[in-house]
Structure 1
Amino acid sequence: MRASQPRCFFHAHFKGGEILKIPILSNLFKSRASPRNSFWQNTQAFFFGPTPSGKTVNERTAMATSAVYACVRVLSETIASLPLHVYRRTGQGKEKAMDHNLYYLLHDEPNPEMTSFVFRETLMGHLLLWGNAYAQIIRDGRGRVIGLYPLLPDRMDVGRTEQGELYYRYQKEGREYLLRREEVLHIPGLSFDGLVGYSPIAMAKNAIGMALATEEYGSKLFANDARPSVVLEHPGILKDPAKIRDSWNQIYRGSENAHKVAVLEEGMSVKTLSMPPEQAQFLETRKFQIEEICRIFRVPPHLVANLERATFSNIESQSISFIDNTIVPWVARFEQAMQKALFLGGEKQQYLVKFNLNGRLRGDAQSRAAFYQTMRQNGIMSANDIRELESMNLIPDELGGNKYLVNGNFVDMADAGAWTEKYRKEDTDE
């Protein structure tokens, strides 16, 4: 059933003369409703539901798996913790545009309710679970951005008008809101059409369903004291075997009843059935499913506390590879989506949004010192360039903090041997 429309509207003009009545969104964020489990309305709904393992998988049940939760948390916190700056292009490169209104919004506080860390962590979590991240863009009368608010992906639909203009339909508390393209920051993940991303959870539901099934099996196994099945044998015929079984389970079943002394009557005996090999190997299955989930999110296993194959020699290399191969693509998605949606038309060539990854790629202290020494003596970095990367106070210009120096042993190849030619000529003249 179509949701009821709010009373207040403004008219949006699209190309071709079409006019849409769009609800005013002034009350959209006055109440922060808790998320609803409406994944059946998701564009990837046909991927969800029961799996061969018998477990139902969606974005929220998947988070009950420790490996999924750990991967989402690692990626979200990493993206949220990276410094995010707005730069102004200059003739010699770029400089921080701290006077631009977007600098404070992206670096510190996108809205009065959130810090930049929480805002980006929320968007990244939506990307990893739903494959899309949305935020409403609040603009002033001149079109400048004055606020950014996250929107839940499972309440959003993306469509086109007959003239081909994109619009976003958002549902909240029984109301439907239409948002123009200029009012939405949309960061799509991997997709079929380049417009709406598909959920990694939906695409990998079988692997996640198996992880949920093994966790449930382990819980039931330990609820039975991690012991195989028991058979009670009686030499005669029992009139009420269910009563004896229930009595046994009540007294001896469960880890809290372990090591109790069993008392048998009427010649009864206990026979323990051996554990099938496939049940005995369920821990190995759980380890494999952790690796499967790490593969889905491209997260090194050691970052989710799986150190089975980690060594002191390869953890640093894996961490750097994690930044290069996992974080950098996500950063590029954020940067380009923000660049496209937040700047006004004339600003896009003058300003840019950039995450700072240098701090995550520095390595250990000895490696950083060797790197800085090479960059410094070759005139590539100044003292202040190095100190900024190390989060240290800058050296004033009058003390040479911004000077670029080179090793005195270096000379231009064109000048190599010039002094010998000079002295040889002076000797000839004499």
Structure 2
Amino acid sequence: LIYGNAYAQIIRNGRGDVLGLYPLMPDKMKVDRDEKNRLIYIYSRYDEANPNLKEQGEIVLYADEVLHIPGLGFDGLVGYSPIALAKNAIGISIACEEYGASFFGNNANPSGVLEHPGVIKNPDKLRDAWHRAYGGKNSHKVAVLEEGVKFTPISIPNNEAQFLETRKFQIEEIARMYRVPLHMIGDLDHATFSNVEHLSLDFVKYSLDPWIVRWEQSLQKALLSDSEKGQYFVKFNVDGLLRGDYASRMQGYATARQNGWMSANDIRELEDMNMISEEEGGNLYLCNGSFTKLIDAGKFAEKIKEETDNG
């Protein structure tokens, strides 16, 4: 989610069975093609902090040796980093934070200009003396100015610069990068009792699902053999995140039970309840007796018509 790619070296035994995954840092990985047009992964083990390490160098891994989960990309090799693509939005947010820290670090006093009627031989000395005397925690002290020096504030007030509005918008911008609903990061301005549940469902459907599909497809492609792909599949279970309120769940269970595609034990398992024994009918699949096939309904109508015509 940060780099746009996830890599792990696949550890196999002599028969090719997967024994484990060794995570690899995305910023040290380069993806390319060799002279035979095969996909190769070049992993750098250079460590600038420890230049004397003996294990430094580059390791070349082939596609069957690497689990690669890419994000959005256009070259067929790697995904792009959402952080890099949204660097301007993040930069504005960082600038707002730094400005706010500086502003309140000076006790919310605006900066300005010290004006002198004559020529100042050492302006840096005057500025430093002003900061020591009236900057930071001393900003509310009464200033004593000599020799015609005048202080003129020049900063734009925060309400005119829309400081708070800008910070709030940048939070929304960063949340929008990953399609995270604002109520999940503590912004409840647009959240109501009726829409929070649907916003949470949207988060699973539109934010998590695209990444979950990437994980499922990449794991199945890289870790399962050809024979195993016909027997097994990778699936993330997000049913717990999709559970609605109690009344909605019970209504859904009732529909499933009446239409015969869920048993009592199927429902109790989803609700983390103890199973009912088979003797008590816990595994029975039932449906309403009034249901009939459409073709049978037509035959029944024809039969009634014939009996009516025959008196």
Say yes or no: TM over 0.5: yes
CA RMSD of aligned residues (A): 3.2
1:369 partnered with 2:250? yes
Q: CA separation in 2, counterparts of 1:269 and 1:161?
A: 71
1:276 partnered with 2:156? yes
Conserved 8 A contact 1:228-1:272: no
Q: CA separation in 1, counterparts of 2:298 and 2:262?
A: 25
Q: 1:402 to 1:197 in 2, by over 3 A?
A: same
Q: CA separation in 2, counterparts of 1:267 and 1:161?
A: 76
Q: CA separation in 2, counterparts of 1:268 and 1:309?
A: 54
Q: CA separation in 2, counterparts of 1:393 and 1:165?
A: 53
Task: Output one character per residue of 1:16-38: Cα deviation in whole Å (capped at 9) or x when no partner.
Answer: xxxxxxxxxxxxxxxxxxxxxxx
1:303 partnered with 2:184? yes
Q: Which residue of 1 aligns with 2:144?
A: 264
1:322 partnered with 2:203? yes
Identity percentage of aligned residues? 55
Q: CA separation in 2, counterparts of 1:166 and 1:276?
A: 55
Q: 1:381 to 1:270 in 2, by over 3 A?
A: farther
Q: CA separation in 1, counterparts of 2:288 and 2:150?
A: 85
**Structure 2: which amino acid aligns with 1:189?**
G
Q: CA separation in 2, counterparts of 1:416 and 1:377?
A: 24
Q: Which residue of 2 aligns with 1:138?
A: 11
| Number of aligned positions between the proteins | 298
Task: Output one character per residue of 1:37-79: Cα deviation in whole Å (capped at 9) or x when no partner.
Answer: xxxxxxxxxxxxxxxxxxxxxxxxxxxxxxxxxxxxxxxxxxx
Q: CA separation in 1, counterparts of 2:257 and 2:25?
A: 47
Q: How does 1:277-426 map to 2 (within 5 A)?
A: 280-413=161-294, 414=296
Q: CA separation in 1, counterparts of 2:165 and 2:91?
A: 16
Structure 2, gaps ≥5 residues long? 47-55
Conserved 8 A contact 2:257-2:264: yes
Q: How does 1:36-75 map to 2 (within 5 A)?
A: none
Which stretches of structure 1, 4 residues or longer, exceed 6 Å deviation after superposition? 233-241, 267-270
How far 1:344 sits from its partner (Å)?
0.9
Q: Which residue of 2 aligns with 1:49?
A: none
Task: Output one character per residue of 1:83-121: Cα deviation in whole Å (capped at 9) or x when no partner.
Answer: xxxxxxxxxxxxxxxxxxxxxxxxxxxxxxxxxxxxxxx
Task: Output one character per residue of 1:166-207: Cα deviation in whole Å (capped at 9) or x when no partner.
Answer: 221112242211212111111111111222111112222222
Q: CA separation in 2, counterparts of 1:142 and 1:241?
A: 77
Q: Matched residue of 2:20: which SS?
A: strand
What TM-score do the two structures reach when normalised by structure 2?
0.83
Structure 1, gaps ≥5 residues long? 1-127
**Structure 2: which amino acid aligns with 1:220?**
S
**Structure 2: which amino acid aligns with 1:203?**
L
Q: Matched residue of 1:168: which SS?
A: strand
Q: Which residue of 2 aligns with 1:87?
A: none
How far 1:319 sits from its partner (Å)?
1.0
Q: Matched residue of 1:249: which SS?
A: helix
How far 1:391 sits from its partner (Å)?
3.2
Conserved 8 A contact 1:230-1:270: no
Q: CA separation in 1, counterparts of 2:164 and 2:27?
A: 34
Q: CA separation in 1, counterparts of 2:281 and 2:152?
A: 81
Q: CA separation in 1, counterparts of 2:115 and 2:62?
A: 73
Q: CA separation in 1, counterparts of 2:183 and 2:237?
A: 24
Q: Matched residue of 1:179: which SS?
A: strand
Q: Matched residue of 1:354: which SS?
A: coil
2:93 to 206, 211, 215: 211
Higher mean displacement: 184-193 or 261-270: 261-270
Q: Matched residue of 1:178: which SS?
A: strand
Q: Which residue of 2 aligns with 1:168?
A: 41
Conserved 8 A contact 2:180-2:203: yes
Task: Output one character per residue of 1:204-259: Cα deviation in whole Å (capped at 9) or x when no partner.
Answer: 222222222222111211111122125567789877665554344224322x446x
What TM-score do the two structures reach when normalised by structure 1?
0.61
**Structure 2: which amino acid aligns with 1:134?**
Y
Q: Which residue of 2 aligns with 1:102?
A: none
